[in-house]
Amino acid sequence: MNFTQQLVNGIVLGHAYALIAIGWTVLLGVARLVNFGHGQMYMLGAFVTWYGVSRLGLPYFVAIPVAMLVGVAVGYVMQRVMLQLTLKQDLVSIMIVTLGFGYVLHGAAALFFGSTGQILETPFSTKDIYWGDLWFTYQDIAIVIVAILFFAVLKYVIDRTRIGRLARMVAEDPQLAQLAGVNVRRVYLGVFAFEGAAVALAAALVAPRTPILTSMGFDEVIITFVVVVLGGIGSVTGSYVAGLALGLFTAFFGAFVSPAYATAAAFAVLIAVLVVRPGGLAVSPGGR
């Protein structure tokens, strides 16, 4: 295990983390909402893609939009059910409800897809690239490219377009936004549908790297937490940087210390930052 190889692994892993966290970042930064079912939605995205490719025989490029559509539907239904809580800004209840949704998704996915581990194979993940003594796959390149593009487009949309302004306005002051004629419900539903699509896309791209299990949502979400909190809650650029940093950290920690405790170590970093800068991490809603 040489240093450069770990650097490559870390960069790929970092872009994967950032991509997985993007839905949460938007949810939090733009609408001040949380979703503890994020990990299970990631799991669902991975399994829908897997089912499309290996059971229905769909091409990978068709299975991705299908998974994203399922993600949109799940996100929409979730937000539709808890719309009253969202309008009341009852974050405590929203947290528990989304946790409940995650649990339901886990049960439903295990019922439908079975509880055995699967491998999601894509046209890219089986093609290796050797460059000197470095090794990676075309899937890794796809992850990095899509993550960079996604973040660039997202930043542009949030900062520069009407949709982005509306969403930020709703985050800043839902009541005022409503008075100004913004359809607050639609913004909330839209943001949650976006979260569903974003996490499904991330799952379709990232899940081929490791075996997938219906129970994986539980730990998967923790990386997202760390990325979102370290990046400055809800900040798009911050999430990208934090994702990348966390990826590098995990790669090196896994290679040189212990892969089993890599998640625990990432969490220890989070705790350390929270103790040192408890209040300094949060930025104002809609902040970039």
> Which stretches of the chain bind another protein, using CB under 8 A?
34, 36, 81-82, 84-85, 88-89, 91-93, 95-97, 99-104, 106-108, 110-111, 173-175, 218-219, 221-222, 225-226, 229, 233, 260-261, 263-264, 267, 270-271, 274-275, 278-279, 281-282, 284-285
Measuring CA to CA, which residue among 65, 66, 97, 96 is closest to residue 80? 97
Smallest distance, another protein to C-beta of residue 222, A: 5
Which of residues 65 and 287 has its CB atom nearest to another protein in the complex?
A: 287
> Whole-angstrom Cα distance, residue 148 to residue 142?
10
Tokens of 253: 């920690």
Measuring CA to CA, which residue among 242, 81, 89 is closest to residue 172? 89
Which of residues 15 and 38 has its CB atom nearest to another protein in the complex?
A: 38
Smallest distance, another protein to C-beta of residue 40, A: 10
Smallest distance, another protein to C-beta of residue 211, A: 17
Smallest distance, another protein to C-beta of residue 226, A: 7
Which of residues 75 and 208 has its CB atom nearest to another protein in the complex?
A: 75
Smallest distance, another protein to C-beta of residue 69, A: 22
Which of residues 181 and 260 has its CB atom nearest to another protein in the complex?
A: 260
Smallest distance, another protein to C-beta of residue 214, A: 9
Phi, psi for 151 (deg, rounded to 5): -65, -40
C-alpha distance from residue 140 to each of 131, 219, 263 (Å) = 14, 22, 21
Which of residues 56 and 108 has its CB atom nearest to another protein in the complex?
A: 108
> Whole-angstrom Cα distance, residue 73 to residue 93?
21
> Whole-angstrom Cα distance, residue 242 to residue 48?
28
Which of residues 27 and 143 has its CB atom nearest to another protein in the complex?
A: 27
> Whole-angstrom Cα distance, residue 217 to residue 115?
13
Helical ranges in the chain per DSSP H: 3-31, 38-50, 60-81, 83-88, 91-113, 138-160, 162-172, 174-179, 184-206, 217-230, 236-256, 262-276
Tokens of 98: 């989304």
Smallest distance, another protein to C-beta of residue 246, A: 13
Smallest distance, another protein to C-beta of residue 204, A: 24
3-state SS, residue 241: helix
Which of residues 150 and 225 has its CB atom nearest to another protein in the complex?
A: 225
Which of residues 117 and 123 has its CB atom nearest to another protein in the complex?
A: 117
> Whole-angstrom Cα distance, residue 116 to residue 151?
34
